[in-house]
Amino acid sequence: MSPLLAELFGTAILIVLGDGVVANVVLHRTKGNNSGWIVITAGWAFGVTIAVYCVNSISGAHLNPAVTIALASIGAFDWAKVPMYIAAQIAGGFLGGIIVWLAYLPHWKATPDPQSKLAVFSTTPAIRQPGANLLSEIIGGFVLVLALLAVLSPGNFVPGSDFAKGFGPILVGVIVMAIGLSLGGPTGYAINPARDLGPRIAHAVLPIDGKGSSDWGYAWIPIVGPIFGGVLGALCYRLLWKS
């Protein structure tokens, strides 16, 4: 499998399991309806862990344009590969959104609220204040990238050891769950432009019963915020940990 196909495949798995748990919680007449925020954050954490395990050895399992750009900004990834990695990640997010739609096919019509349907595919703010929402996503992106680089740094593992290879993806899931529990309340913690944009495009084009608007006026925030915050996190890591 090529790294680009791995990024597409891995991001699709991430969305199938991540958006899938949201669908299980918010759509009507599912077995998990109204099971709450803890279920959503745990489902996303497990989904990230599984997706990283699936493709880490092939592409490095970025699965997130903010991570790809942040790594490139500190010289840890080739800028020439960034555009295709991002395209593969967004395509994977789109594919994952379609699969979630198919998996919950009877439940879209059973759910009357258009906002609940959109929430399956993309993030929405709890209180719509663009400046505050952007700041929340910047902070989330910053913590994500800084934690990934610091927690998975060679100083914490024997480089190339089986323990590092086997346990690393679990720590990535722990980081994502920590962000969701602590920082996810204001905006739903996109922290990943492909996680939001790819499924939002799927929401826009799929024939979902009573789906309403895809809220494109908000869509720039979960794109710009994580990227800006991620680059800041990477620069902070290089300054403080690698100086």
The torsion region of residue 127 among left (phi > 0), alpha (psi -120 to 50) and beta comes to: beta
CATH code of the domain in which 195 resides? 1.20.1080.10
Q: What is the pLDDT of residues 183-196, one digit of tens each?
A: 999 999 999 999 99
What is residue 159's predicted lDDT score, i.e. its pLDDT? 63
Spatial contact of 124 and 137, defined as CB atoms under 8 Å apart = no
Q: Are 122 and 203 in contact (CB under 8 A)?
A: yes
Calpha distance 24→241 (Å, rounded): 40
Domain span at residue 25 reads: 3-240
Rounded-to-integer distance, Cα 174 and Cα 52, Å: 12
Tell me, what DSSP letter sits at residue 34? T
User: In terms of Cα–Cα distance, which of 147, 152, 242, 138 is closest to 191?
Assistant: 138
| Token pair listed for 162 | 């089986």
Q: Are 202 and 90 contacting, i.e. CB atoms less than 8 angstroms apart? A: no
Q: How many domains does the chain have?
A: 1
In the chain, which stretches have pLDDT less than 70? 158-165, 242-243
pLDDT, residue 154, reads 77
For the whole model, what pTM was predicted? Answer: 0.96
Nearest-Å Rg of the Cα atoms of the chain is 17
Give the residue among 84, 64, 58 at the shortest CA–CA distance from 11: 64
